[in-house]
Structure 1
Amino acid sequence: MITALDHIALAVRDFEAAVDSYRRLFGREPDLEPGDGANRAWFQFPNMALEIIAPSGEGPAGDHVRARLDAAGAGQWIVAFQVSDLDAAAQLFSRRGLDVARAGPLARVRAAGLDFVLTSGRIGAQRSPPTTTEAAAVEALDHVVVMTPNCDRALGLYGAKFGLDLRLDRANEQWGARQLFFRCGATVFEVGASLKAPVTEEPDRFGGLAWRVTDPDAAQARIAAAGFDVSEVRTGRKPGTRVFTVRDAPGGVPTLMLMPSPELERA
Protein backbone atom coordinates (compact mmCIF):
# COMPACT_ATOMS: atom_id res chain seq x y z
CA MET A 1 0.00 0.00 0.00
CA ILE A 2 2.85 2.42 0.87
CA THR A 3 4.90 2.98 -2.27
CA ALA A 4 7.52 5.52 -1.11
CA LEU A 5 8.60 8.02 1.48
CA ASP A 6 6.97 11.25 0.27
CA HIS A 7 8.32 13.91 2.62
CA ILE A 8 9.53 14.75 6.11
CA ALA A 9 8.19 17.84 7.88
CA LEU A 10 10.09 19.99 10.35
CA ALA A 11 8.09 22.39 12.53
CA VAL A 12 9.92 25.64 13.34
CA ARG A 13 9.18 29.00 14.93
CA ASP A 14 11.71 31.13 13.03
CA PHE A 15 10.91 30.32 9.41
CA GLU A 16 13.49 32.55 7.73
CA ALA A 17 16.34 31.33 9.93
CA ALA A 18 15.45 27.65 9.38
CA VAL A 19 15.15 28.06 5.62
CA ASP A 20 18.47 29.88 5.43
CA SER A 21 20.15 27.18 7.51
CA TYR A 22 18.88 24.35 5.33
CA ARG A 23 19.68 26.29 2.16
CA ARG A 24 23.29 26.49 3.34
CA LEU A 25 23.31 22.88 4.56
CA PHE A 26 21.91 21.36 1.37
CA GLY A 27 23.41 23.78 -1.14
CA ARG A 28 19.96 24.00 -2.76
CA GLU A 29 17.26 26.63 -3.23
CA PRO A 30 13.76 25.70 -1.96
CA ASP A 31 10.29 26.49 -3.25
CA LEU A 32 8.36 28.78 -0.92
CA GLU A 33 4.66 28.07 -0.38
CA PRO A 34 2.77 30.37 2.00
CA GLY A 35 -0.91 29.87 2.75
CA ASP A 36 -3.55 28.62 5.15
CA GLY A 37 -1.91 30.37 8.09
CA ALA A 38 1.53 28.80 7.57
CA ASN A 39 4.76 29.38 5.67
CA ARG A 40 6.29 26.36 3.95
CA ALA A 41 9.60 25.77 2.20
CA TRP A 42 10.08 22.63 0.12
CA PHE A 43 13.52 21.18 -0.56
CA GLN A 44 12.75 18.63 -3.26
CA PHE A 45 15.02 15.63 -3.88
CA PRO A 46 14.66 12.76 -6.37
CA ASN A 47 13.38 10.36 -3.70
CA MET A 48 11.49 12.64 -1.26
CA ALA A 49 11.15 16.21 -0.01
CA LEU A 50 11.94 18.08 3.18
CA GLU A 51 9.21 20.48 4.28
CA ILE A 52 9.96 23.32 6.69
CA ILE A 53 6.76 24.74 8.12
CA ALA A 54 6.03 27.57 10.54
CA PRO A 55 2.84 29.37 11.62
CA SER A 56 2.34 32.75 9.99
CA GLY A 57 -1.22 33.78 10.84
CA GLU A 58 -4.77 32.53 11.06
CA GLY A 59 -5.73 29.32 9.30
CA PRO A 60 -6.02 25.57 9.91
CA ALA A 61 -2.42 24.78 8.93
CA GLY A 62 -1.04 27.57 11.08
CA ASP A 63 -3.16 26.47 14.04
CA HIS A 64 -2.00 22.88 13.63
CA VAL A 65 1.69 23.82 13.55
CA ARG A 66 1.26 26.22 16.45
CA ALA A 67 -0.30 23.46 18.56
CA ARG A 68 2.59 21.14 17.70
CA LEU A 69 5.18 23.76 18.67
CA ASP A 70 3.41 24.49 21.95
CA ALA A 71 3.21 20.78 22.78
CA ALA A 72 6.63 19.53 21.70
CA GLY A 73 8.76 22.41 20.46
CA ALA A 74 10.57 22.74 17.15
CA GLY A 75 12.09 19.81 15.32
CA GLN A 76 11.24 16.78 13.23
CA TRP A 77 7.49 16.39 13.25
CA ILE A 78 6.00 14.20 10.50
CA VAL A 79 7.04 11.39 8.19
CA ALA A 80 4.70 11.31 5.18
CA PHE A 81 4.29 8.16 3.11
CA GLN A 82 3.10 8.08 -0.48
CA VAL A 83 0.25 5.68 -1.25
CA SER A 84 -1.33 4.68 -4.55
CA ASP A 85 -4.94 4.92 -3.31
CA LEU A 86 -5.47 7.29 -0.37
CA ASP A 87 -9.03 6.22 0.43
CA ALA A 88 -8.16 2.53 0.39
CA ALA A 89 -4.98 3.07 2.42
CA ALA A 90 -6.78 5.11 5.09
CA GLN A 91 -9.50 2.47 5.37
CA LEU A 92 -6.98 -0.37 5.63
CA PHE A 93 -4.89 1.41 8.26
CA SER A 94 -8.06 2.03 10.27
CA ARG A 95 -9.10 -1.64 9.98
CA ARG A 96 -5.63 -2.59 11.25
CA GLY A 97 -6.35 -0.67 14.46
CA LEU A 98 -4.41 2.52 13.73
CA ASP A 99 -5.55 6.01 14.72
CA VAL A 100 -6.40 7.56 11.31
CA ALA A 101 -8.00 10.96 10.63
CA ARG A 102 -8.75 12.29 7.14
CA ALA A 103 -7.72 15.90 6.56
CA GLY A 104 -8.48 17.01 3.01
CA PRO A 105 -6.00 15.49 0.53
CA LEU A 106 -4.20 13.42 3.17
CA ALA A 107 -4.74 11.14 6.14
CA ARG A 108 -3.04 11.69 9.49
CA VAL A 109 -1.87 8.65 11.44
CA ARG A 110 -0.80 8.73 15.08
CA ALA A 111 1.21 5.66 16.11
CA ALA A 112 3.71 4.84 18.88
CA GLY A 113 3.67 8.50 19.91
CA LEU A 114 4.71 9.76 16.46
CA ASP A 115 2.89 11.62 13.68
CA PHE A 116 2.68 10.14 10.18
CA VAL A 117 0.79 11.16 7.06
CA LEU A 118 -0.54 9.22 4.07
CA THR A 119 -0.63 11.23 0.84
CA SER A 120 -0.94 10.77 -2.90
CA GLY A 121 2.39 12.57 -3.22
CA ARG A 122 4.01 15.64 -4.72
CA ILE A 123 3.63 14.40 -8.27
CA GLY A 124 5.83 16.18 -10.83
CA ALA A 125 7.90 18.18 -8.34
CA GLN A 126 11.28 19.19 -9.76
CA ARG A 127 14.50 18.76 -7.81
CA SER A 128 15.52 21.93 -5.99
CA PRO A 129 18.24 23.71 -7.98
CA PRO A 130 21.75 23.80 -6.51
CA THR A 131 23.33 26.98 -5.18
CA THR A 132 26.73 25.34 -5.64
CA THR A 133 28.14 22.53 -7.78
CA GLU A 134 26.09 19.31 -7.85
CA ALA A 135 29.10 17.42 -6.48
CA ALA A 136 29.13 19.57 -3.33
CA ALA A 137 25.34 19.70 -2.86
CA VAL A 138 23.22 17.16 -0.98
CA GLU A 139 21.89 14.66 -3.51
CA ALA A 140 19.05 12.75 -1.78
CA LEU A 141 17.88 11.22 1.48
CA ASP A 142 19.47 7.88 2.34
CA HIS A 143 17.46 6.99 5.46
CA VAL A 144 15.32 8.31 8.26
CA VAL A 145 15.87 6.94 11.76
CA VAL A 146 13.28 6.15 14.42
CA MET A 147 14.36 5.07 17.89
CA THR A 148 12.16 2.59 19.73
CA PRO A 149 12.23 1.06 23.23
CA ASN A 150 10.38 -2.00 21.91
CA CYS A 151 11.52 -3.82 18.75
CA ASP A 152 8.68 -6.34 18.80
CA ARG A 153 6.16 -3.49 18.83
CA ALA A 154 8.07 -1.78 16.01
CA LEU A 155 8.02 -4.95 13.90
CA GLY A 156 4.28 -5.26 14.40
CA LEU A 157 3.62 -1.59 13.70
CA TYR A 158 5.93 -0.66 10.83
CA GLY A 159 6.07 -4.13 9.30
CA ALA A 160 2.65 -5.72 9.78
CA LYS A 161 0.39 -2.67 10.11
CA PHE A 162 2.17 -0.13 7.90
CA GLY A 163 3.24 -2.88 5.51
CA LEU A 164 6.82 -1.67 5.08
CA ASP A 165 9.28 -4.14 3.55
CA LEU A 166 11.66 -5.44 6.25
CA ARG A 167 15.01 -6.14 4.58
CA LEU A 168 17.33 -6.64 7.57
CA ASP A 169 17.02 -7.28 11.31
CA ARG A 170 20.49 -6.93 12.84
CA ALA A 171 21.70 -6.98 16.43
CA ASN A 172 25.25 -5.87 17.16
CA GLU A 173 26.50 -6.47 20.69
CA GLN A 174 29.60 -4.36 20.09
CA TRP A 175 27.48 -1.31 19.27
CA GLY A 176 24.87 -2.24 21.87
CA ALA A 177 22.12 -1.79 19.30
CA ARG A 178 19.53 -3.65 17.27
CA GLN A 179 18.55 -2.20 13.91
CA LEU A 180 15.56 -2.90 11.69
CA PHE A 181 15.88 -1.74 8.08
CA PHE A 182 12.65 -1.30 6.09
CA ARG A 183 12.82 -0.47 2.39
CA CYS A 184 10.49 2.41 1.48
CA GLY A 185 10.67 3.23 -2.21
CA ALA A 186 14.11 4.70 -2.89
CA THR A 187 14.85 5.35 0.80
CA VAL A 188 15.25 3.33 3.99
CA PHE A 189 13.14 3.60 7.16
CA GLU A 190 15.52 2.52 9.93
CA VAL A 191 14.37 1.63 13.44
CA GLY A 192 17.00 1.43 16.17
CA ALA A 193 16.86 0.14 19.73
CA SER A 194 19.37 -0.09 22.57
CA LEU A 195 20.28 -3.61 23.68
CA LYS A 196 21.28 -2.20 27.07
CA ALA A 197 17.96 -0.57 27.96
CA PRO A 198 14.88 -2.46 29.18
CA VAL A 199 11.96 -3.05 26.82
CA THR A 200 9.14 -0.62 27.62
CA GLU A 201 5.90 0.73 26.15
CA GLU A 202 7.28 4.29 26.04
CA PRO A 203 6.74 6.21 22.76
CA ASP A 204 9.08 5.96 19.81
CA ARG A 205 11.01 9.09 18.81
CA PHE A 206 12.59 10.41 15.65
CA GLY A 207 16.32 9.77 15.69
CA GLY A 208 17.71 11.76 12.78
CA LEU A 209 18.29 11.89 9.03
CA ALA A 210 21.08 10.57 6.82
CA TRP A 211 21.61 12.35 3.50
CA ARG A 212 23.49 11.17 0.42
CA VAL A 213 26.32 13.12 -1.16
CA THR A 214 28.29 12.17 -4.27
CA ASP A 215 31.58 13.75 -3.14
CA PRO A 216 31.88 13.73 0.67
CA ASP A 217 35.10 15.75 0.68
CA ALA A 218 33.59 18.53 -1.44
CA ALA A 219 30.34 18.49 0.55
CA GLN A 220 32.16 18.54 3.90
CA ALA A 221 34.34 21.48 2.84
CA ARG A 222 31.35 23.44 1.54
CA ILE A 223 29.22 22.82 4.66
CA ALA A 224 32.11 23.74 6.95
CA ALA A 225 32.66 26.95 4.96
CA ALA A 226 28.94 27.71 5.40
CA GLY A 227 29.54 27.90 9.15
CA PHE A 228 28.51 24.45 10.36
CA ASP A 229 30.42 22.31 12.85
CA VAL A 230 31.28 19.14 10.92
CA SER A 231 33.39 16.09 11.66
CA GLU A 232 36.16 14.80 9.47
CA VAL A 233 35.20 12.48 6.61
CA ARG A 234 35.60 8.90 7.82
CA THR A 235 34.89 5.34 6.75
CA GLY A 236 31.30 4.37 7.52
CA ARG A 237 30.08 1.27 9.32
CA LYS A 238 28.76 -0.18 6.07
CA PRO A 239 31.57 -1.40 3.79
CA GLY A 240 32.40 1.03 1.00
CA THR A 241 30.71 4.05 2.56
CA ARG A 242 32.29 7.36 3.60
CA VAL A 243 30.51 9.61 6.07
CA PHE A 244 30.71 12.78 8.14
CA THR A 245 28.51 14.23 10.86
CA VAL A 246 26.96 17.69 11.04
CA ARG A 247 27.12 18.35 14.78
CA ASP A 248 24.98 21.49 14.81
CA ALA A 249 22.38 20.76 12.13
CA PRO A 250 19.32 23.06 12.05
CA GLY A 251 16.57 22.29 14.53
CA GLY A 252 18.79 19.96 16.50
CA VAL A 253 18.07 17.10 14.06
CA PRO A 254 20.89 14.49 14.22
CA THR A 255 22.35 14.65 10.72
CA LEU A 256 24.74 12.36 8.86
CA MET A 257 26.10 12.86 5.35
CA LEU A 258 27.18 9.74 3.50
CA MET A 259 28.45 8.46 0.20
CA PRO A 260 26.80 5.08 -0.35
CA SER A 261 28.72 2.03 -1.49
CA PRO A 262 28.16 1.35 -5.22
CA GLU A 263 27.67 -2.34 -4.40
CA LEU A 264 25.00 -1.54 -1.80
CA GLU A 265 23.28 0.84 -4.20
CA ARG A 266 22.85 -2.01 -6.71
CA ALA A 267 21.56 -4.45 -4.07
Structure 2
Amino acid sequence: MITGLDHVAVAVREFGVAVDGYRRLLGREPELEPRDGADRAWFHFPNMALEVIAPSGAGPAGDRVRARLDTAGEGQWIAAFQVDDLDAAARLLSRRGLEVEHVGTVARVRAAGLNFVLTQGRTGAQRSPPTATEAAAVSTLDHVVVHTPNPDRALGLYGAKFGLDLRLDRANEQWGARQLFFRCGGTVFEVGASLKAPVSDEPDRFGGLAWRVTDPEAAQARIAAAGFDVSEVRPGRKPGTKVFAVRDAPGGVPTLCIEQGGTS
Protein backbone atom coordinates (compact mmCIF):
# COMPACT_ATOMS: atom_id res chain seq x y z
CA MET A 1 0.00 0.00 0.00
CA ILE A 2 2.53 2.65 1.15
CA THR A 3 5.55 2.65 -1.14
CA GLY A 4 7.63 5.36 0.52
CA LEU A 5 7.81 8.76 2.14
CA ASP A 6 6.76 11.49 -0.27
CA HIS A 7 7.52 14.56 1.82
CA VAL A 8 7.63 16.12 5.26
CA ALA A 9 6.01 19.53 5.78
CA VAL A 10 7.34 22.13 8.21
CA ALA A 11 4.96 24.97 9.08
CA VAL A 12 6.55 28.39 9.66
CA ARG A 13 5.42 31.98 10.19
CA GLU A 14 8.20 33.88 8.41
CA PHE A 15 8.53 32.20 5.05
CA GLY A 16 11.55 34.06 3.72
CA VAL A 17 13.55 33.62 6.90
CA ALA A 18 12.78 29.89 7.13
CA VAL A 19 13.50 29.22 3.46
CA ASP A 20 16.82 31.02 3.66
CA GLY A 21 17.60 29.03 6.80
CA TYR A 22 16.90 25.68 5.17
CA ARG A 23 18.82 26.74 2.07
CA ARG A 24 21.86 27.38 4.26
CA LEU A 25 21.31 24.27 6.37
CA LEU A 26 20.74 21.79 3.56
CA GLY A 27 23.12 23.44 1.11
CA ARG A 28 20.53 23.22 -1.68
CA GLU A 29 18.41 25.59 -3.74
CA PRO A 30 14.63 25.30 -3.28
CA GLU A 31 11.77 25.34 -5.74
CA LEU A 32 9.19 28.01 -4.80
CA GLU A 33 5.48 27.38 -5.20
CA PRO A 34 2.85 29.90 -4.05
CA ARG A 35 -0.62 28.32 -4.19
CA ASP A 36 -4.01 28.28 -2.43
CA GLY A 37 -3.15 31.00 0.08
CA ALA A 38 0.20 29.54 1.10
CA ASP A 39 3.83 29.96 0.10
CA ARG A 40 5.80 26.74 -0.30
CA ALA A 41 9.46 25.95 -0.82
CA TRP A 42 10.39 22.45 -1.92
CA PHE A 43 13.77 20.89 -1.28
CA HIS A 44 13.87 17.71 -3.37
CA PHE A 45 15.95 14.64 -2.49
CA PRO A 46 16.15 11.19 -4.08
CA ASN A 47 14.03 9.58 -1.33
CA MET A 48 11.64 12.41 -0.33
CA ALA A 49 11.13 16.17 -0.27
CA LEU A 50 11.04 18.80 2.47
CA GLU A 51 8.17 21.28 2.17
CA VAL A 52 8.50 24.57 4.02
CA ILE A 53 5.06 26.21 4.13
CA ALA A 54 3.65 29.47 5.47
CA PRO A 55 0.30 31.27 5.07
CA SER A 56 0.32 34.10 2.54
CA GLY A 57 -3.31 35.02 1.84
CA ALA A 58 -6.82 33.72 1.33
CA GLY A 59 -7.18 30.08 0.35
CA PRO A 60 -7.69 26.59 1.79
CA ALA A 61 -3.98 25.81 2.25
CA GLY A 62 -3.37 29.16 3.92
CA ASP A 63 -6.30 28.54 6.26
CA ARG A 64 -4.98 25.11 7.23
CA VAL A 65 -1.45 26.28 7.97
CA ARG A 66 -2.74 29.31 9.92
CA ALA A 67 -4.87 26.97 12.04
CA ARG A 68 -1.82 24.78 12.67
CA LEU A 69 0.32 27.76 13.70
CA ASP A 70 -2.42 29.07 16.00
CA THR A 71 -2.86 25.74 17.80
CA ALA A 72 0.63 24.24 17.82
CA GLY A 73 3.11 26.84 16.58
CA GLU A 74 5.93 26.25 14.14
CA GLY A 75 7.48 22.85 13.49
CA GLN A 76 6.99 19.50 11.80
CA TRP A 77 3.41 19.32 10.67
CA ILE A 78 2.73 16.56 8.15
CA ALA A 79 4.34 13.34 6.95
CA ALA A 80 3.07 12.42 3.48
CA PHE A 81 3.19 8.81 2.29
CA GLN A 82 3.33 7.72 -1.35
CA VAL A 83 0.75 5.15 -2.45
CA ASP A 84 0.10 3.49 -5.80
CA ASP A 85 -3.70 3.70 -5.62
CA LEU A 86 -4.98 6.62 -3.56
CA ASP A 87 -8.62 5.54 -3.40
CA ALA A 88 -7.80 1.96 -2.46
CA ALA A 89 -5.32 3.05 0.22
CA ALA A 90 -7.80 5.52 1.68
CA ARG A 91 -10.55 2.88 1.79
CA LEU A 92 -8.26 0.36 3.47
CA LEU A 93 -7.11 2.77 6.17
CA SER A 94 -10.70 3.80 6.80
CA ARG A 95 -11.67 0.12 7.20
CA ARG A 96 -8.77 -0.23 9.64
CA GLY A 97 -10.35 2.44 11.83
CA LEU A 98 -8.42 5.56 10.86
CA GLU A 99 -9.93 9.00 10.22
CA VAL A 100 -9.49 9.63 6.47
CA GLU A 101 -10.62 12.70 4.50
CA HIS A 102 -10.21 13.29 0.76
CA VAL A 103 -8.91 16.80 0.01
CA GLY A 104 -8.34 17.46 -3.69
CA THR A 105 -5.78 14.99 -5.04
CA VAL A 106 -4.68 13.69 -1.61
CA ALA A 107 -6.21 12.01 1.42
CA ARG A 108 -5.56 13.38 4.89
CA VAL A 109 -5.24 11.01 7.83
CA ARG A 110 -5.34 11.98 11.50
CA ALA A 111 -3.88 9.32 13.81
CA ALA A 112 -2.43 9.33 17.35
CA GLY A 113 -2.56 13.13 17.31
CA LEU A 114 -0.42 13.46 14.18
CA ASN A 115 -1.24 14.57 10.64
CA PHE A 116 -0.46 12.34 7.67
CA VAL A 117 -1.23 12.55 3.96
CA LEU A 118 -1.63 9.88 1.31
CA THR A 119 -0.52 10.95 -2.17
CA GLN A 120 0.41 9.34 -5.44
CA GLY A 121 3.61 11.29 -5.24
CA ARG A 122 5.68 13.95 -6.87
CA THR A 123 6.36 13.43 -10.58
CA GLY A 124 9.46 14.53 -12.42
CA ALA A 125 11.15 16.14 -9.43
CA GLN A 126 14.93 16.33 -9.67
CA ARG A 127 17.27 16.60 -6.69
CA SER A 128 17.60 20.25 -5.67
CA PRO A 129 20.94 21.64 -6.89
CA PRO A 130 23.65 22.31 -4.30
CA THR A 131 24.48 25.87 -3.33
CA ALA A 132 28.20 25.02 -3.29
CA THR A 133 29.90 21.61 -3.44
CA GLU A 134 27.87 18.41 -3.52
CA ALA A 135 30.15 16.79 -0.91
CA ALA A 136 29.24 19.38 1.75
CA ALA A 137 25.50 19.40 1.02
CA VAL A 138 22.87 17.19 2.64
CA SER A 139 22.35 14.20 0.34
CA THR A 140 19.13 12.48 1.51
CA LEU A 141 16.87 12.04 4.52
CA ASP A 142 17.95 9.19 6.79
CA HIS A 143 14.97 9.02 9.14
CA VAL A 144 11.98 10.75 10.68
CA VAL A 145 11.72 10.66 14.47
CA VAL A 146 8.41 10.19 16.28
CA HIS A 147 8.01 10.16 20.06
CA THR A 148 5.23 8.03 21.51
CA PRO A 149 3.99 7.47 25.08
CA ASN A 150 2.49 4.16 23.98
CA PRO A 151 4.78 1.83 21.99
CA ASP A 152 2.17 -0.92 21.60
CA ARG A 153 -0.22 1.61 20.06
CA ALA A 154 2.59 2.70 17.77
CA LEU A 155 3.16 -0.90 16.66
CA GLY A 156 -0.52 -1.18 15.82
CA LEU A 157 -0.67 2.16 14.00
CA TYR A 158 2.53 2.30 11.98
CA GLY A 159 2.88 -1.45 11.51
CA ALA A 160 -0.55 -3.04 11.34
CA LYS A 161 -2.63 -0.11 10.06
CA PHE A 162 -0.24 1.87 7.85
CA GLY A 163 1.58 -1.32 6.92
CA LEU A 164 5.12 -0.02 7.37
CA ASP A 165 7.81 -2.70 7.61
CA LEU A 166 9.00 -3.14 11.22
CA ARG A 167 12.72 -3.89 10.99
CA LEU A 168 13.81 -3.58 14.62
CA ASP A 169 12.20 -3.38 18.07
CA ARG A 170 14.74 -2.86 20.81
CA ALA A 171 14.78 -1.64 24.39
CA ASN A 172 17.96 -0.13 25.80
CA GLU A 173 18.00 0.35 29.55
CA GLN A 174 21.18 2.43 29.35
CA TRP A 175 19.48 4.97 27.11
CA GLY A 176 16.14 4.58 28.92
CA ALA A 177 14.31 4.10 25.65
CA ARG A 178 12.51 1.58 23.49
CA GLN A 179 12.99 2.15 19.77
CA LEU A 180 10.91 0.87 16.87
CA PHE A 181 12.39 1.16 13.39
CA PHE A 182 9.97 0.99 10.45
CA ARG A 183 11.19 0.96 6.86
CA CYS A 184 9.30 3.40 4.62
CA GLY A 185 10.66 3.12 1.10
CA GLY A 186 14.09 4.75 1.11
CA THR A 187 13.72 6.22 4.60
CA VAL A 188 13.10 5.02 8.15
CA PHE A 189 10.42 5.96 10.69
CA GLU A 190 12.09 5.77 14.10
CA VAL A 191 9.53 5.69 16.91
CA GLY A 192 10.93 6.16 20.40
CA ALA A 193 9.31 5.63 23.79
CA SER A 194 10.72 6.39 27.23
CA LEU A 195 11.20 3.40 29.54
CA LYS A 196 11.03 5.75 32.51
CA ALA A 197 7.58 7.21 31.84
CA PRO A 198 4.27 5.37 32.26
CA VAL A 199 2.39 4.26 29.18
CA SER A 200 -0.46 6.64 28.37
CA ASP A 201 -2.98 7.54 25.70
CA GLU A 202 -1.44 10.97 25.12
CA PRO A 203 -0.75 11.82 21.46
CA ASP A 204 2.41 11.00 19.58
CA ARG A 205 4.57 13.91 18.42
CA PHE A 206 7.10 14.44 15.68
CA GLY A 207 10.59 14.49 17.15
CA GLY A 208 12.87 15.69 14.38
CA LEU A 209 14.67 14.82 11.16
CA ALA A 210 17.98 13.05 10.62
CA TRP A 211 19.72 13.93 7.35
CA ARG A 212 22.45 11.97 5.62
CA VAL A 213 25.72 13.62 4.64
CA THR A 214 28.59 12.06 2.71
CA ASP A 215 31.33 14.04 4.45
CA PRO A 216 30.30 14.91 8.03
CA GLU A 217 33.32 17.13 8.72
CA ALA A 218 32.79 19.16 5.55
CA ALA A 219 29.04 19.43 6.15
CA GLN A 220 29.52 20.44 9.79
CA ALA A 221 32.04 23.12 8.83
CA ARG A 222 29.76 24.49 6.11
CA ILE A 223 26.69 24.60 8.37
CA ALA A 224 28.65 26.22 11.19
CA ALA A 225 30.02 28.83 8.77
CA ALA A 226 26.42 29.52 7.69
CA GLY A 227 25.70 30.70 11.24
CA PHE A 228 24.10 27.66 12.85
CA ASP A 229 24.77 26.34 16.35
CA VAL A 230 26.18 22.89 15.67
CA SER A 231 27.72 20.22 17.88
CA GLU A 232 31.07 18.62 17.26
CA VAL A 233 31.19 15.60 14.97
CA ARG A 234 31.08 12.50 17.16
CA PRO A 235 30.76 8.72 16.70
CA GLY A 236 27.18 7.60 16.12
CA ARG A 237 25.38 4.84 17.98
CA LYS A 238 25.76 2.60 14.96
CA PRO A 239 29.40 1.48 14.68
CA GLY A 240 31.35 3.22 11.96
CA THR A 241 29.06 6.25 11.67
CA LYS A 242 29.55 9.89 12.64
CA VAL A 243 26.87 12.40 13.63
CA PHE A 244 26.43 16.01 14.64
CA ALA A 245 23.40 18.00 15.79
CA VAL A 246 22.07 21.32 14.52
CA ARG A 247 20.60 22.97 17.60
CA ASP A 248 18.75 25.86 15.95
CA ALA A 249 17.24 24.53 12.72
CA PRO A 250 14.45 26.62 11.15
CA GLY A 251 10.99 26.04 12.55
CA GLY A 252 12.45 24.59 15.74
CA VAL A 253 12.81 21.12 14.17
CA PRO A 254 15.29 18.91 16.08
CA THR A 255 17.91 18.12 13.48
CA LEU A 256 20.71 15.57 13.23
CA CYS A 257 23.18 14.97 10.42
CA ILE A 258 24.59 11.49 10.04
CA GLU A 259 27.27 10.01 7.87
CA GLN A 260 25.70 8.42 4.82
CA GLY A 261 24.83 4.78 5.26
CA GLY A 262 23.90 5.01 8.97
CA THR A 263 20.43 4.79 10.50
CA SER A 264 21.58 5.35 14.12
Using the size of structure 2 for normalisation, the TM-score is 0.98
Code of the residue aligned with 1:85 in structure 2: it is: D
**Distance (Å, rounded) in 2 between the aligned partners of 1:213 and 1:9:** 21
Corresponding residue of 1:35 = 35
Could you list the runs of 5+ residues in structure 2 that have no partner in the other structure?
Answer: none
Structure 1 segments of 4+ aligned residues over 2 angstroms from their partners: none
Corresponding residue of 1:252 = 252
Corresponding residue of 2:102 = 102
**Distance (Å, rounded) in 1 between the aligned partners of 2:260 and 2:131:** 23
**Distance (Å, rounded) in 2 between the aligned partners of 1:138 and 1:96:** 37
Cα distance per residue 1:164-216 (max 9 Å; x no partner)? 00000010000000000000000001100000000000000001100000000
Corresponding residue of 1:25 = 25
Code of the residue aligned with 1:147 in structure 2: it is: H
Code of the residue aligned with 1:186 in structure 2: it is: G
What is the aligned length? 264
Matches of residues 132-143 of structure 1 in structure 2 within 5 Å? 132-143=132-143
Code of the residue aligned with 2:45 in structure 1: it is: F
Corresponding residue of 1:113 = 113
Q: CA deviation at 1:247?
A: 1.0
Q: CA deviation at 1:248?
A: 1.1
1:195 paired to 2:195? yes
Code of the residue aligned with 1:159 in structure 2: it is: G
**Distance (Å, rounded) in 1 between the aligned partners of 2:107 and 2:5:** 14
Q: Is the 8 A contact 2:75 2:251 kept in 1?
A: yes
CA RMSD of aligned residues (A): 1.1
Q: Is the 8 A contact 2:212 2:261 kept in 1?
A: no
Code of the residue aligned with 2:183 in structure 1: it is: R
Q: CA deviation at 1:260?
A: 3.4
Could you list the runs of 5+ residues in structure 1 that have no partner in the other structure?
Answer: none
**Distance (Å, rounded) in 2 between the aligned partners of 1:72 and 1:174:** 32
- Tell me the SS of whatever aligns to 2:188: strand
- Which has the higher mean CA deviation after the structures are superposed, 110-119 or 243-252? 243-252
**Distance (Å, rounded) in 2 between the aligned partners of 1:54 and 1:252:** 14
Using the size of structure 1 for normalisation, the TM-score is 0.97
**Distance (Å, rounded) in 2 between the aligned partners of 1:236 and 1:181:** 16
**Distance (Å, rounded) in 2 between the aligned partners of 1:39 and 1:137:** 24
Corresponding residue of 2:157 = 157
Code of the residue aligned with 2:159 in structure 1: it is: G
Could you say if the C-alpha distance between residues 133 and 18 of structure 1 is closer, same or farther in structure 2, counting changes exceeding 3 Å? same
Code of the residue aligned with 2:9 in structure 1: it is: A
